[in-house]
Structure 1
Amino acid sequence: MFAETWFWIGLGLALCVLELIFPTAFVELVMGLSAILVAFVSLLVPSFGIQVFIWMLLSLVSIFLVRRFLPRRMPKILEESLDATTLTAIAPGEKGRVLHEGSPWAARCADKEMAIAPQTKVTVVGREGTTLVVMPQLGVDLPIYERED
């Protein structure tokens, strides 16, 4: 009977430590705390199968409650269109630099065949990691680059 209690305490502590090492949005932590609660239940319920069932039930209910009541983090999303200005030329299929919201960013043109000259007003149409995807604003004269094959 006490061996099962120590098993649940060890499992609970291990899951809590794993949450510190590999954060999983409190899933491991909740499962660990449920295991520690089952350690106390194991003193009253001798069947290991029932203990496992109680642990799974406690874990599922707790995870549901934690996810329901914790605020969700919203990913940072760019607005539909944002203005920027190129700092360097963006050659076809290459990256350049743009000034966006007062900070320089790596950028590439959404059209891989198009080039954009420096000091050109562009619209940010997306983001790939730390690289902005831009398109020249309408009415902007674009330079013609010849490709060297």
Structure 2
Amino acid sequence: MTPTVVWFMVGAGLCLVEFVLPTAFIAFVLGVSALLVAIVAHLLPLGAQVGLWVILSIVLILFSRRFVNRRAAFKLDATEAETLTEIRPGEMGRVCYEGNSWAARCESSNLDIPAGRRVYVVGRRGTTLIVMPEEF
């Protein structure tokens, strides 16, 4: 297999990965860089091809950030969650929020929330959700 074919397959594969597993546009940009390297692969030695791919990838990632719509870092559209583990007063537990398991802490430092209870997401601190029980 020639380097051109390899770069083309890598580029196409990375672009397809973006559609299957969204990676915030990174895999797509890496794939486009590989496709561009495939065009000139027959003119450059392997080390230069890899170097060109790295440089193109960095430049395209930085350049594409200006044009990609920035999503909110965190949406609170779905404000309900369900506790997966007990959340004891002042301690952390786990909740299922939007189909994912999140670390969570109760906003009130004196409430105990049992597992399986519906809670409201009232905020976030880093990667920890702040919750309150549905009934308290």
Segments of structure 2 that go 5 or more residues without pairing to the other structure are 78-87, 90-104, 113-120
d(CA) in 2 for partners of 1:125 and 1:17? 37
SS of match in other structure, 2:65 = helix
Rg larger in structure: 1
d(CA) in 2 for partners of 1:48 and 1:9? 14
**Structural mapping, 1:1-149, within 5 Å:** 3-43=2-42, 45-74=43-72, 75-76=74-75, 110-114=107-111, 126=123, 132-133=131-132
Closer, same or farther in 2 for the Cα pair 1:14/1:114, shift >3 Å? closer
Q: Which amino acid aligns with 1:33?
A: V
d(CA) in 2 for partners of 1:9 and 1:109? 51
d(CA) in 1 for partners of 2:40 and 2:9? 15
Once the 2 structures are TM-superposed, how far is the Cα of residue 109 of structure 1 from its aligned partner?
5.8
Q: Percent identity?
A: 39
Q: Which amino acid aligns with 1:22?
A: L
> How many pairs does the alignment contain?
98
Is 2:10–2:34's contact at 8 Å kept on the other side of the alignment? yes
d(CA) in 1 for partners of 2:111 and 2:9? 60
Aligned-residue CA RMSD (Å): 3.3
Once the 2 structures are TM-superposed, how far is the Cα of residue 110 of structure 1 from its aligned partner?
2.6
TM-score of the two chains, using structure 2 as the length reference:
0.58
Once the 2 structures are TM-superposed, how far is the Cα of residue 18 of structure 1 from its aligned partner?
1.4
Q: Deviation digits for residues 28-52 of structure 1, max 9, x if unmatched? A: 1011011011111113x23111111
Once the 2 structures are TM-superposed, how far is the Cα of residue 70 of structure 1 from its aligned partner?
1.6
Closer, same or farther in 2 for the Cα pair 1:55/1:77, shift >3 Å? same
d(CA) in 1 for partners of 2:44 and 2:75? 50
Segments of structure 1 that go 5 or more residues without pairing to the other structure are 79-92, 95-107, 116-123, 135-141, 143-149
